[in-house]
Amino acid sequence: MNPRAIYAIYYFEMARTGRTIWQSIVSPVISTSLYFVVFGGAIGSRITEIEGVNYGSFIVPGLIMLMLLTQSVTNASFGIYFPRFVGTIYEVLSAPVSAFEIVLGYVGAAATKSIILGLIILATSGLFVPIRIAHPLWMISFLVLTAATFSLLGFIIGIWADGFEKLQIIPLLIITPLTFLGGTFYSINVLPPVWQKVALFNPVVYLISGFRWSFFEVADVNVATSLAMTVVFLAVCLVIVWWIFRTGYRLKK
């Protein structure tokens, strides 16, 4: 283990956030606040409660998860793609730094940014509606696991992409729609029975459900299933990252 190498990569990525704080922190918080005002105000005036929880409070975990998923992927994908684009990745690969340390530095920084952003959004939401966290440790656990998992996914996308436009394909065309359809603004229990079964094929449902349970003890699926799905997704991403460094896919070519 080379802690200096990990710290150097981690510090560089975190410093970039400080230089682009309006884009990295302020813009996502404002966007999420607008979601909250629009959806909470428009729909909340017609739906007062879902499963005994005030609608404005009910959507807070979904909004945090929406921003967490998109920002984790975006931060990690750009973090590894840019060194590939300018060619500095070869300096990192030729240094006495293991693949594990490289991944830990880049993914750790991306996950840290997303967690900080999620906590800021949580605090901001408290200005609009009352927030109750029934299980704080589980909330942090889901937050960290999800941020790490999707930062790994972003790392994979950053390696796969051969142009800036490809960095946006999966976040915009896959992750964001799945998040909106995954119970961000509603419970899948309000859907017709057929669509409830279809929704269970959406992996984001499990992430949002488990995270929401940590707040209000209400969930669309069993919390153990949500945790298991998150861990499985994390394991799949780890295997893919291992394969990338094992084969040198788009790193040594």
Is 252 contained in some domain? no
Residues ≥6 apart with Cβ < 8 Å to 88: none
Is 253 contained in some domain? no
pLDDT category at 136 given cuts 50, 70, 90 is very high
Residue with tokens 């696991």: 145
Q: Which of 115, 125, 154 is nearest to 25 (CA)?
A: 115
* 252 vs 163, more confident: 163
Q: What is the pLDDT of residues 158-207, one digit of tens each?
A: 999 888 888 888 888 888 889 888 888 888 988 889 988 999 999 999 99
Task: Note whether 69 and 203 are within 8 A (CB).
Answer: no
- pLDDT at residue 190, as a whole number: 85
pLDDT category at 253 given cuts 50, 70, 90 is low
Is 163 contained in some domain? yes
CA torsion, points 77, 80, 84, 88, in degrees to nearest 10?
160
Q: How far apart are CA 190 and CA 201, in angstroms?
A: 17
Task: Note whether 232 and 167 are within 8 A (CB).
Answer: no
Domain that holds residue 202: 3-247
- pLDDT at residue 155, as a whole number: 94
Reading the block at residue 187, the tokens are 């419970």
- pLDDT at residue 159, as a whole number: 92
Q: What is the mean pLDDT of residues 128-145?
A: 92
Tell me the CB-side half-sphere exposure of residue 182, using CA atoms within 13 A.
26
How is 62-80 classified by DSSP, letter by letter? HHHHHHHHHHHHHHHHHHH
Q: What is the pLDDT of residues 141-154, one digit of tens each?
A: 999 999 999 999 99
Is 210 contained in some domain? yes
| Residue 25, pLDDT above cutoff 80 | no
- The three-class DSSP label of residue 208 is helix
Domain count along the chain = 1
Q: Where are the beta strands (DSSP E) in the chain?
A: 49-50, 53-54
Is 11 contained in some domain? yes
- pLDDT at residue 43, as a whole number: 67
CA torsion, points 236, 247, 91, 19, in degrees to nearest 10?
-20
Is 53 contained in some domain? yes
Q: What is the pLDDT of residues 27-77, one digit of tens each?
A: 777 877 777 777 766 666 667 778 888 888 898 999 999 989 998 998 899
Is 141 contained in some domain? yes
Tell me the CB-side half-sphere exposure of residue 183, using CA atoms within 13 A.
30
pLDDT category at 212 given cuts 50, 70, 90 is very high
> What are phi and psi for residue 184, nearest 5 degrees?
-60, -45
Q: What is the pLDDT of residues 78-127, one digit of tens each?
A: 989 988 888 788 888 788 888 889 999 999 999 999 999 999 889 888 88
Is 45 contained in some domain? yes
